[in-house]
Amino acid sequence: MWRRAMVAAVLALIVGIWHRSDPELPERAVRYLSASLRSLQGGAGTAAAEQTIAAAWEALITSPAKQWSRVAVGVNACVDVVVSGVGLLQALAVDPGAGQDHDVLRSKEDLKETFIHYMEQGAAAERFYSDKETFQRIARAAVEYPGAQLYVGGNAALIGQKLATHPHLTVLLCGPMGPKLHELLDEQIVVPPESLQETDEFHLILEYKAGERWGSSVAPQASRFIFSHDRANGEMSALEVFVASLEDFQPDLVVLSGLHMMEGQGRQLWEQRLREAVVAMSDIPNEVPIHLELASMTDKDYMNSIMQEVLPIVNSIGLNEQELLFLSQAGSGPHSQLAAWDGVPDVGRVSDILLWVLTQRGRADAGSEADLTRVHFHTLAYHILATVDGFWANQVAAVSAGARVAGSQACGTQAIDASRVVLKAPLEFYTSHAEPRERVTLSPAEPVAVWRRENVSFHLTPVLVCKHPLRTVGLGDAISAEGLLYSEMIEQQEF
């Protein structure tokens, strides 16, 4: 034990000396040494840091002064069929091989190659399967696969389901609603009759575990690959019904998702439907804030259209590391030359892109008339809430609540179990990848770091990552739902 302590002390001394003598030391080396130090310090088998963070969150997570009471959520909803990805592909008589990304899946070979491509990265992704008959055969095989589980699916339905667990909220959910999905929904959720349809839309969720192998491919972390042949959600057919229902429901918050589903329908359709979506969203009263939940996309033109036409008319967005980088790539923003993140996304680079989004398409520019003032970013190791000053309150609680639910839901526990989670976030980082920048040190006892750049405030907290996750689907939606639940929008004075 004393040897471990001595090595930890020496390593800490080296890190300190290098930082002082060479501030430009490559950040990957600093992160490696810091991670090694944390490993040595926590090597006795305790979960001290994780327990400290979980306890600190409980003190920080307080309800906002003004809470939402009626939330309308739409418009993508389906039934998720969750199966072992490798197991299902083997049952379909598909052999392992090389990975290759495909924007649209047209065959089982495309499915296999795209699944392997993302499995090897340990990254989540979603694709449209263009062949209806083949998809239906695969869906039947998935439903019949041993251990297959059926859940509420679709970002909107998952967010609505999460919000409905809070008794003070009334939740309206609009989307393609088949009989199985209606049966699975929380009975407190209000469903417009116009949303009901005779058949369900199925999405297949191919999950894999950290370290799982298939052929020569190994998953570095647990995640999932999603695909479907879903025209109703793909065309956002419930959008007009959703907006029309708001007049009677009178929500004080609107949550919208499903734009990513249109990507696989072809440019002609998404161009038309995106224009119609903007018109429909413009009918929502200005005093009702809109949160847009983004999801995996591959078409840069489509993402760029969303960035130019949709982001300026919503108040808040939620997205993960892949979606944030793709947003920058589509709009030629900061660090858009990166093909992908190298491990845990660098906090400074993430901060640069978040500031760019709020400046280019949001209200960070004082002369802008855009409505976007909040971005909730989540990745496996940490979360950041970036908000334009003067528009949002209670964001320390909001970012903490989002991180807390990520750790508990992935492990299937009501509260954080410190023995089942691990801290993977960098405890030391820079607030930008370029100068000027400041170095921030995060303490487990004070697990929310706050900094400002121009008129944007950033709130970062680590995630306590579940060591053996039971289910990864819907974590991003749960994170955004909890973050919104604890957020308060500041009423703006009219002059």
Positions marked active-site: 477
Joined tokens for residue 360: 């280019």
SS3 450: strand
Alpha-carbon torsion, ordered 365, 368, 370, 375, to 10 deg: 0
Which residue has tokens 């439903």? 143
Q: Are 213 and 205 in contact (CB under 8 A)?
A: no
* Distance (Å) of CA 4 to CA 7, 11, 422, 444: 5, 11, 20, 21
List Cβ<8 Å contacts ≥24 apart for 134-143.
134/107, 134/108, 135/227, 135/228, 135/229, 136/229, 138/88, 138/92, 138/108, 138/111, 138/204, 139/81, 139/202, 139/204, 141/88, 141/91, 141/92, 142/81, 142/83, 142/88, 142/204, 143/81, 143/202
Please report, for residues 363, 385, 433, 455, the alpha-carbon distance to residue 354 in angstroms, rounded to integers and kept in the order given. Answer: 12, 9, 12, 12
357 with 457: CB under 8 angstroms? no
